[in-house]
Structure 1
Amino acid sequence: MKDYNNLSKEDGKLLVSTARKIVTEYIKNNTKLKLENEFKNNFSFKSGVFVTLNDKQGLRGCIGYPLPNKLLYDALYDAAISAATKDPRFPPVEDKDLNSIIFEVTVLTSPKKIIVNNPEEYLSKIKVGRDGLIVKNGYHSGLLLPQVPVDYNWNAKEFLEHTCEKAGLSKDSWKDPTTVIESFEGIIFKE
């Protein structure tokens, strides 16, 4: 059975094309695409996943599941529709938008807490381009995918600061001993 560690480029192409088909069917016909049994069987392992939509202006929607609580095919389905229609930062995607949108699917490993004795150690433990981050403190939580710091040319410190801000915290909250920092890896598949 497949899992995160043995996804091929062909699997990635299939995940991305299926995300597009799911969104297209939902937007054009207001119906849910029936996934083929073979697709379900191939992606029936639990995994976190994010679906990202970009157009020529940049980000157009991004929603997903950071934790492996759902089977990948099921999480992909929900994330694709949500990224297109429920990202509160953007208006819902319309039929006329579909041809100008590029779909991206990021399949995630389980998040793991980064253990440090001193917050400055985070800077050497986070690898930009490999790691995604989750910052938690109290009721606040924020996540940035591994490709984000690469896209913006951030170093590890800037990545931490922006993830803190995404969580609704001050940018230096990563230095607070009550803040929990988790990392995960992601395989990025893009049209």
Structure 2
Amino acid sequence: MSEFEQTEKQKMLAGELYLATDPELVAENKRASRLLRQYAQTTLEEPELRQQILRDLLGRVGEAANIVPPFHCDYGSNIFIGDRFYMNYGGVILDCNTVHIGNDVLCAPYVQIYTATHPTDPTVRLTGRELAAPITIGNTVWIGGGAIICPGVTIGDNTTIGAGSVVTKDIPANAIAVGNPCRVIKTLEKC
């Protein structure tokens, strides 16, 4: 490979079209799948084992992070979570690009965080190439049950996302936002 050629993983993380069937990405997905199976078999009585598996799986795990199984992700290594993160049952993080989550973030059951997307041009889509855009979630954010966070979104500090919301655009700090598409319905005084 010349010095100017990018790997499929580099393309993926750069937000460019990439092939998820690339051997390096397939191997990383299999690794994550193995760790997720191990994690799903743990119990509440095994907090140290759960923390070790999360440290092996994710790019960063803050102190006292808790993800309730079942949990699903693509690679894990592109997920960076802060201290006291909590994700309830059925969480999904498609981490084909980076997901940065701050401290004290709470996710209700079935929250879905998607960096992954596909080309809208059907001719390009038929090539099997995919796209991904990073997601950033600030500190002290609450995300209600069944909410979907779409690729490329940033959610500011101290914000609440209502249950069932579909977040397609950035949401500022100190806001309460709900709906499909998600929109700010109330701004909080500075916290």
More helix by share: 1
Q: Highest relative contact order (Cα 8 Å, sep 6+), 1 or 2?
A: 1
TM-score scaled by structure 2?
Answer: 0.30
